[in-house]
Amino acid sequence: MNISLILQMAADTESERIGLVCDTRRWSYGALLRAARGAALNISKSTCSYVALLDESSEAAAIALFAAAMAGVPYVPLNYRLSNTDLGALLSRIAPAYIIADTDRIRQLSPEGRHIVRSRAAFVAEAESMADAAIPTDDPGDGIAVQLFTSGTTAAPKAALLRHANLVSYVLGTVEFGSASPQEAALVSVPPYHIAGIAALLTSIYALRRILLLPAFDPDDWLALAASERATNAFLVPTMLSRVIARMDAGVSAHPPALRAISYGGGRMPTELIERALKLFPDTDFTNAYGLTETSSTIALLGPEEHRVAHASSDPAVRARLGSVGRPLPTVQIEIRDEDGKPLPLGERGEIYVRGDQVSGEYRERSALDAKGWFPTRDAGWIDAEGFLFLAGRADDVIVRGGENISPGEIEDVLLSHPVIADAAAVAVPSTEWGEAVGIAVVTKPNLPPPSEDELRTLIRNRLRSSRVPERIAVLEALPYNEMGKLLRRELRKLFQS
Amino acid sequence: MKPGTKLKSTVCGTEVMVIRGSGAVVECGGAPMVEERPAEPGSIKPGFAQGTQIGKRYVDTAGTLELLCVKPGQGSLSIGGVPLQLKDAKPLPASD
């Protein structure tokens, strides 16, 4: 089933209902469908092989996603924060593409390969002008709907492929059609090239939940839009939530009046931050979502009731679940395996494997699925007695000290409990004695002197085992993050190697 | 029919997408559904007029077949005269 049917069903059911708000423009489902059909006609005429978006979030992202689907070509949202060199290399891999872009940026890139370039305004205007001429075209098939370039850490970015069948099975498995009331509105502030940004368009439209698009995240703009459009739902990555809370603490804005539910994911949520958020938003439902690009977004959820139970519990095992990513969706299976690929019992740490119809695990170059359809996530984790999944960092981030596996997260949690420390990271450092040992980088709160190295070592020795005590300690101004709030551990490892 | 096939009613506006299952002859309003709608619609058989609802999923009792209604109509769905059931939706919190 082609994903364009999602928009078609929404428009058939509630043609006049406002489905998307961006800047000053309000789009009904009917208007979005007409624009997507017009754009699909223009894309088909261009005979391009891909539709690319090199722009911030706007209605053009939604129109392009569905138009590409109707035209039967993959939609490729690109990370506009990449350097011109990196973007140029990606554009050469998708030639010829119909590119919706910031035209100045494209001029700097001067891409080769018969691309067609339209500014956001021109793309939308041309789509709308063709809307009446557009008749439903031939069956566009149900091949590749979305191609996302994963952020390459060591090698060139991989082109992850999501088929219509993967995305549709995610939407049908997690959302009931038309389940949102007309008051519901979801504030979407993740960039369009992130899987959560794409999933938000699909699931919100299928639920008939109005989308409030914030072109680029800023905490003050987020709070203002949440208030003026009465957002009821929002998805945030942990760093975004932390920045929103900082502005509320600074008295910039009051609690968003209609906000009922916040979901978060896309990075590690520090326990301190979620506990703070639960106190600050006592009437808001919190949901932690764990997923990857290659799994069409969410595969495990920690729901609102589970947050409350964990937060209120005095049982350490139950309380610890606040730091878990909850349980697998009913439509996916999750297994923890050892380095030889053998399933591990509950409680033991290994690599997270996932299987299900929404799991693609497919790249342009090869499929990463094993013979039985399991996808190795490269995330490390373990499952507790009640089936809650805990993440323990990327499998590549584990510190192996004299044969003992150490997860950076446990050390970071202890460091963050120190009153002077604002941010902390643990990485592997080379050790002649142990092969690898622990190195930590800490950032102190503004205008506070850092604790002594002895104090930090004692803190970790008292709370954890002696193997966790850091061999190297660095005090930094800030830790290196990418724009989605993911910690760049490779940068820290480099720091300790020099 | 197989997953991904779109079936149309010959007696009303109903259209369904096959999510799971293959080979079965699905009826709407008592008449077999087809991939190309006929020029002249037939009439709904008595007892098969409860209607279909857009966005609802329908399953057989064995659980081998699942259909998604993508256009609603007045006929109701069956296989070999046995009505299909509405699939229970287990609500999940919004996570995107």
What's the mean pLDDT when you consider all of chain A? Answer: 92
- β-pairing verdict for A421-431 and A435-444: antiparallel
What domain range includes position A420? Answer: 398-497
Buried b (16+ CB within 10 A) or exposed e, A452-468: eeeebbebbeeebeeeb
Domain-located, residue B20 = yes
Final residue in a domain of this structure, among A199, A216, A233: A216
Q: A 104-143 residues with CB below 8 A of B? A: 142
Across A288-293, average pLDDT = 96
Q: How many domains does chain A have?
A: 2
Is the pLDDT confidence value at A440 over 90?
A: yes
Final residue in a domain of this structure, among A183, A216, A249: A216
CB-CB neighbors (< 8 A) of B55 in chain A: 9, 13, 176-178, 206
For A175-231, the pLDDT digits (tens) are 999 999 999 999 999 999 999 999 999 999 999 999 999 999 999 999 999 999 999
Q: How many domains does chain B have?
A: 1
Domain-located, residue A293 = no
Domain-located, residue A375 = no
Is the pLDDT confidence value at A407 over 90?
A: no
Q: Does B20 touch chain A (CB under 8 A)?
A: no
pLDDT of residue A136: 61
Nearest C-alpha of chain B: how many angstroms from A186? 9
pLDDT of residue A155: 63
Domain-located, residue B92 = no
Final residue in a domain of this structure, among A216, A250, A278: A216
Q: Report the percentage of chain A scoring pLDDT > 70.
A: 98
pLDDT of residue A405: 79
Instruction: Judge: A285–B93 Cβ closer than 8 Å, yes or no.
Output: yes
pLDDT of residue A73: 96
Domain-located, residue B13 = yes
Domain-located, residue A468 = yes
Domain-located, residue B91 = no
B62 contact partners, CB below 8 Å, separation of at least 6 = none
Q: How confident is the model at residue A14 (pLDDT cuts 50, 70, 90)?
A: very high
Is the pLDDT confidence value at A368 over 90?
A: yes
Domain-located, residue B17 = yes
What domain range includes position B77? Answer: 6-86
Residue A344 DSSP code: P
Domain-located, residue A272 = no
CATH number at residue A62: 3.40.50.12780
Domain-located, residue B41 = yes
What's the rounded Cα separation, in Å, for the pair B78 and B58?
9
Nearest C-alpha of chain B: how many angstroms from A294? 15
pLDDT of residue A65: 98
CATH number at residue A446: 3.30.300.30
Domain-located, residue A140 = yes
Domain-located, residue B1 = no
Instruction: Judge: A196–B96 Cβ closer than 8 Å, yes or no.
Output: yes
Kindly state the tokens that stand for A31: 């208007």
C-beta contacts of B33-39 below 8 A and 24+ residues apart: B33/B7, B33/B8, B33/B9, B34/B7, B34/B8, B34/B10, B35/B5, B35/B6, B35/B7, B35/B8, B36/B8, B37/B8, B37/B9, B37/B10, B38/B10
Across A145-170, average pLDDT = 88
Across A398-411, average pLDDT = 84
For A304-347, the pLDDT digits (tens) are 999 999 999 999 999 999 999 999 999 999 999 998 889 999 99
Nearest C-alpha of chain B: how many angstroms from A12? 8
Q: How confident is the model at residue A152 (pLDDT cuts 50, 70, 90)?
A: low
A340 contact partners, CB below 8 Å, separation of at least 6 = none
Domain-located, residue A202 = yes
For A456-496, the pLDDT digits (tens) are 999 999 999 889 999 999 999 999 988 777 788 888 999 99
